[in-house]
Structure 1
Amino acid sequence: MTPRKSSAEELTKEEIVYRAREQFIEKGYEKVTMRGLASKLGCSHGALYYYFKNKAELFYAVVEKDFAHLNQLLKDVVSGPNENQQKLHEILLCFIRFGLNQQKQYEFMFMMKNDEVDSLSHEASMQSYHKFAEAVFKLKNEKVQQDAIYSAFIALHGFVSHHCGYVTDFNEVKEAAEGHVQFILKGLT
């Protein structure tokens, strides 16, 4: 067993979030404890509580980074050089690719049901949906109804959640994903 780190050697907030992500993915939210995580990190559990008031807040910090990553991927597509219709196609495909290549993170972001984290995660997922909706609205040359955008988002989520745990990554269902995206695009016209 390694000795505890002194306060001068305590982990940074970013390091704690990174290592907590590993533990949440490996064990699941329910089985991770602040004491267990501190032991794994070789620090006092007080060091964790210095940055996070509880496990739910730490979990939210992990999920928040995942939402930021997804949002950045979508932003990169929108600001890319392609025509709007191609960008729209890529945004839909990007969402599926993200979800199937980061399945545990996706489950934490959009599918986890837990009273401790629901309110925090719900807020982040709604912000992510709004960024998605803004991107779709911006890329459509003609007007598109908000309910059509929401239906497209739910259709993407359905595709990802249907395949989570049954495939190892996006490449296994790439052809089906392309077909699904084409179907969704028809609904947005």
Structure 2
Amino acid sequence: MKNNSDTKQKLIQVTREMIDQQGIDAINMRDLGKKINLSRGALYRHFKNKDDLLATIATENFELLNRNIQQLSDKIYEPRQLLYAILLAYYDFGINNQEHYQLMFRKQWDKEMYPDLVTSAFFIFTSVEKCLEKAGNIRKSSNQSTAMMYAFIHGLVELNISEHSESEKGLDSPIQLIDSFLDLIFMN
């Protein structure tokens, strides 16, 4: 059984490396099998298909982001500072892991086929929502404020990934934008 688990982990590791080096679109099961010397049949004993493999990696990415956010929550108690740190961590993750970010957010994952992925993705939303509930001094409901924060940070990441960070538009300082955005969420 350990060998089976080791092989599965090796598949995940090599796929991550391929994503980092060549991008998501370059991933195919045939090349993956060749890289680690496995037959197609052996690959499919570990993952039903390419989407199953990529969903596993996306789930791990969400779990990593969740751990980062949990560590911030354990250290920062003031809600605005915590949300600032969360948004910055989210932004940094997207910029520093662009292909993985795309994998996590550009595809609509089937909720019934990949419940662990959906649960991991939703954990971040609920963490932010709980933080806003505790803050109490927000302009909109915690749910609506969290949705606005999601839209904002995803937009900011996408603009920077696509290199639309022009200073004349005020998009060249994500740190200032995040701080200014929080001014819109919180009442003074």
Give the TM-score band, short-chain normalised. Answer: 0.7 to 0.9
Which segments of 5 or more consecutive residues in structure 1 lack a partner in the other structure?
1-7, 168-173
Q: Equivalent residue for 1:34?
A: 29
Alpha-carbon spacing, 1:182–1:126, altered in 2? closer, same or farther (3 Å): same
Equivalent pair of 1:78/1:87 in contact (CA under 8 Å): yes
TM-score (norm 2): 0.77
Deviation at 1:142, TM superposition (A): 3.3
Match of 1:148 in 2: 145
Kept after mapping to 1: 8 A contact 2:83/2:128: no
The number of residues matched between the two structures is 173
| Aligned match of 1:84 | 79
Q: 1:43-122 maps to which residues of 2 (within 5 A)?
A: 43-112=38-107, 118-119=109-110, 120=114
Deviation at 1:130, TM superposition (A): 2.4
Question: How far did 1:157 drift?
Answer: 0.6
Task: Say if 2:184 is the partner of 1:187.
Answer: yes
Paired with 1:135 and 1:71, the residues of 2 have a C-alpha distance of: 14
Shift in CA distance, 179/16, structure 1 to aligned 2, threshold 3 Å: same
- Contact residue 94 and residue 101 of structure 2 kept, 8 A: yes
* Separation (CA, whole Å) in 2 of partners of 1:70 and 1:139: 21
Match in the other structure for 1:162: 159
- Could you say what secondary structure the match of 2:149 adopts? helix
SS at match of 2:131: helix
Other structure's SS at 1:118 match: coil
The gaps in structure 2 that reach 5 residues or longer are 165-170
Q: Distance in 2 between matches of 1:69 and 1:160?
A: 18
Displacement after TM superposition at 1:188 (Å) = 1.5
Tell me the SS of whatever aligns to 1:79: helix
Contact kept? 1:85, 1:139, Cα under 8 Å:
no
Shift of 1:79: 1.1
8 A Cα contact 2:69 2:86, kept in partner: yes
| C-alpha distance in 2 between matches for 1:99 and 1:139 | 27
Share of identical aligned residues, percent?
24
Pairwise CA distance, 1:129: 4.6
Is the partner of 2:126 in helix, strand or coil?
helix
CA displacement 1:126-168 (0-9 Å, x = unmatched): 514523433532552436512122111110110001111539x
Q: TM-score, normalised by structure 1?
A: 0.77
Partners of 1:25 and 1:124 lie apart in 2 by: 25
**2:14 matched residue in structure 1:** 19
Change in Cα spacing, 1:135 to 1:21, as seen in structure 2 (3 Å) is: farther
Q: CA deviation at 1:187?
A: 1.9
Question: In structure 2, what residue type is equivalent to 1:148?
Answer: S
Whole-Å Cα distance in 2 between the matches of residues 134 and 80 of structure 1?
A: 18
